[in-house]
Every structure is written in structure tokens, then in C-alpha cells.
Amino acid sequence: MAMRVTTFALSNFLLTYALSTQVKLAEKQTQEASGLLSSTYGGLGSDAGTLVDLEVSLARSESYAYAAEQATNRVEVMYSATGSIVDLLTDMRTEVSAASVDTSDIDTFQDTAASLLEELESLLNTQYEGRYLFAGSNTQEEPVDLDSYTATDLTTADTSYHSGDDTIISVHVSSQRTVSYGVTADNDAFEEAIRVLSYIANADELTDDDLETIGDMLVEAQDGVIAIQSGLSLDAGSLENAQTEQEELIALTETSIDDIRSVDLATVAVEIAQYETQLEASYAAVGKLSDFSLLDYL
């Protein structure tokens, strides 16, 4: 049946309203399925700029947290290595206490020193994730090479074994904060340990006075390495605190981002039900208007 002229405008209005309601319904259904207010920045209106700023801040904080975590891992490896050096020096002190220049065991004593010197070299050349940790900024080259190094006296410091530099590495843990960490292989305590072990291993003759001096130097070197360990522990604490601060900021930023992007699913479910009811009513009204005919009034 043809629609009456007087009902055309109303029918057209109802159809337009129904289509608009259908679009809104589809939008709410998409929100319900994704949990997001919009899949594009354009759908967020005035909050889009705020979201972009928050996402930039989030990426920056994640970068700082990761850098702090990596630095902490390196410090922990260095702490472990220096702990092994402390143990090594303890072993050598024990050997010195038991040594006597008047016995045939002096050769074994010197061999032990040579073996511990090799171990010390290996520890100072500790590598982690492709980086030599005690090399300063020259992280791609072993910092200690003892092949051409021999200590000829106990009193003269000599860092010729060191091929790195004395740069203390630092890491940015926030936009305004940098944490320095670590130690280099030319540190006085390491140098003294290398010097005394090399002297023991290579000396043509050792005297009782030498053994007394060596014992004192080993104590001094060990105290220095223990102090290095304490410093590394402080470095690790600073880095861990910085990482925690960034992780807390990450959590807050993620919450803010979620508040902008996410929808209240309970509210959306109610709105979907309302739009479905409106849509059904609109189509029902259009259907009734379409059924009207001039014959109904004759």
C-alpha cells in the first residue's frame, strides 16, 4: 500500500531516528566487546591530547625502569665477583701465614699465588651481556691483561695491566636524576692485590721480611675490596629504589590511561538495552505508519 502524504514526514523522521539509534547501538556494542571507549584518538574528543601525553610519560618511565634494572643486574654481578676476590685473598692470607722461606714448600706457595693471580685476572675480566664490567667505558675490551705484567717490587704501584679507563658508568633513572655505579679494574685495592700476588709468583727469592710485608698488603688489599663491595651494595640500593619509583609511576600512569580509554561495562550494558528498546519502538512505529491507507477511512 502507498503511504499517505500526511504520514511521510513523520515516517521519514522515525527512520532517521532509528538509523541514528542503530549507529549508537553499534558503537556501544563495540565498546562492550573491546572494553575501550574508542579504538582511535579521534573518538576520545578532548581527552585525546591527555592520553598522548600519558602514553609518552609511560614509555619514558618504562625506559628508565628498564635501564635501572639492567644496571642493578650488572652491579649484582660485580658484587659477586668482588666477593670471590675477597675469598681469594683470604685463601692467600692463609697460605702466607703457613709459609716458611726455609722449606721446600715455597715453590708450592708460589704456584698457589700464580694460580690465584690467574683467577683474579679472570674475575676482573668478568663479562655480562657482552660488557666487560670492570673496564670503565671501554666495555668491549678485557680490562686486565697480565701476559706482560710482572711485579718486581712490593712498593711500586703499577696499573700497566689495565687496558680500560677509569670512567665510572652512570645511568639515567629519571629525567632529572643520574646514578653512577661500579668500579674499574685499576682501583687501588685491585692493583695492590695483583701486585702482591704477581710478586709472590715471580720472585726469585722470598725473605721473612717479604712475607711479613706481603701479609700486611693482603690485609690492606682485602679491606679495600670489602670497601668496594660496600660501595656496590649502596649502588644497587640506589638503583633498586629508582626502579621502584619508576614502577610506581608506571602503575599510576597506566591507571590514568585506563580511566581515559576504558568504559564502564555495566553502564554500557544498560545503554545497549535502552538503545535496543528505542530501536524496536522506532521500527514498530514506522511499520504502523506504513500500514495506513486511504481505504481505511472510506
Q: How many domains does the chain have?
A: 2
Closest residue by Cα to residue 221 from 154, 136, 147, 142: 154
Where among 241, 256, 271 does a domain terminate? 256
* pTM listed for this prediction: 0.76
The answer to whether residues 12 and 115 belong to one domain is no
CA distance 27 to 101: 91
**Residue 75 structural domain:** 67-256
Closest residue by Cα to residue 193 from 147, 231, 226: 226
- Does residue 107 form part of some domain? yes
- The domain spanning residue 197 has which CATH number? 1.20.1330.10
Where among 226, 241, 256 does a domain terminate? 256
- Does residue 130 form part of some domain? yes
- Does residue 219 form part of some domain? yes
Pick from 1-15, 46-60, 75-89, 95-109: least confident: 1-15
The answer to whether residues 188 and 268 belong to one domain is no
- Does residue 10 form part of some domain? yes
Question: How high is the pLDDT of residue 1?
Answer: 42
For 148-168, what is the mean pLDDT? 93
Beta-ladder partners of 170: 180
Question: How high is the pLDDT of residue 198?
Answer: 97
Residue whose C-alpha cell reads 682501583 in the numeric block: 187
The answer to whether residues 165 and 275 belong to one domain is no
CA distance 188 to 172: 27
135 burial class (0-12, 13-18, 19+ CB within 10 angstroms)? buried
CA distance 220 to 245: 38
The answer to whether residues 283 and 159 belong to one domain is no
For 89-105, what is the mean pLDDT? 86
- Does residue 276 form part of some domain? yes
The answer to whether residues 226 and 78 belong to one domain is yes
The answer to whether residues 267 and 233 belong to one domain is no
The answer to whether residues 291 and 194 belong to one domain is no
pLDDT digits (tens, 9 = 90+) for 38-74: 556 666 677 788 888 999 999 999 999 999 999 999 9
Q: What percentage of the chain reaches a pLDDT higher than 70?
A: 73
The answer to whether residues 96 and 14 belong to one domain is no
- Does residue 61 form part of some domain? no
- Does residue 48 form part of some domain? no
The runs of H, that is alpha helices, within the chain are 5-34, 47-98, 106-124, 188-202, 208-261, 265-291
Give the number of residues written for the chain.
298
The answer to whether residues 140 and 210 belong to one domain is yes
The answer to whether residues 80 and 120 belong to one domain is yes
Beta-ladder partners of 132: 127
- Does residue 168 form part of some domain? yes
For 246-268, what is the mean pLDDT? 80
The answer to whether residues 176 and 103 belong to one domain is yes
Pairing status of strand 131-132 against strand 127-128: antiparallel
The answer to whether residues 22 and 165 belong to one domain is no
Print burial letters for 241-271: b (CB count within 10 Å at least 16), e (below 16): ebbebbbebbeebeebbeebbebeeeebeeb
- Is the pLDDT assigned to residue 239 strictly greater than 80? yes
